[in-house]
Chains A and B, each alone.
Chain A
C-alpha cells in the first residue's frame, strides 16, 4: 500500500486546521483591536476583487494573463445582472455564453 497520499492528507489537514482556526486559537477570549472592523470593511471588497480578477483572467497551467471565452461569459452575465435577472439565470448565462464562445473559437 502506498502511504504517500495519507501523509499528504495528514500534514495538510493539520496545517489547514491551524491556519483556519488561528483566530480563536491565538486570540482566545481577548477582544480584537478597535481598528479591526474598519480593516475588514476594506479587506472584503479588496479580497473579492482579487478573486474576480484571478478567476477571470488567471490560468492554472500557463503563466500570465489568459483572455479567453470566460470574458464573453462574464460580459453577458454582467448584462443579465444589469437587467435584474435572478442569480441562477445570471450564472446560467455566464456558463452558456462561455461554452458557446469556446465552441465557436
Chain B
C-alpha cells in the first residue's frame, strides 16, 4: 500500500485530497445540524431598531412583521414614527444606502386622549389598540394610559362617536446644544453671547 502510494504520487495526492474533503464535509455537516440557528437572527436586530409603536403605517401588522419583511428585502424607509434616525440605524445594520422616508414624519410625540364625557363604551378602540393601552369595558367609560400609549392613532378611526383625539406630549425641559458658531452672522460675532 505504502509502496503503491510512494510510486504513484498522483494517486497519493488525489487520495489525500479526497480524504480531507470527506473529513471537512463531515465536520461541516455535523456543525450544520448541531449548531443550527432557528429563525433569522437579523430579524431580532432589526426589530430592536424599530420604535415599537405597532402602528402599521409601514403596511405590516406590527413592528415584528415589518422586521421580518425587511430581512426578506423590504425597503427600510417605511417607518414614519422612527424617522430618519431609524432609517440610518437600519442602513448601518444592513449595510445598505439610507433612503428618504416614505411618508411624512410628525416630529411631536402624540398620545391618544379620550374625551370621557362623550365616550359611549363601545370597546371598539380597546380592540384596535395594539399595545392594550386603553382600559374600559362594554358600556363603561374608556380611558387611555398615556404612559403606555405609543401614539399610533389606530384607535381614532374605529371610534363611532369621534371622542378620541391625538394630543401632543409635553416634553420636559432639557439642556440644548449650543448653536454652532457658524450660525452666528458676522455682525453679531463681536458681541454676541453664546445663546443659552
Q: Is the A/B pair a real complex? A: no
Instruction: Spell out B's residues near A (CB within 8 Å).
Output: none
Instruction: Spell out A's residues near B (CB within 8 Å).
Output: none
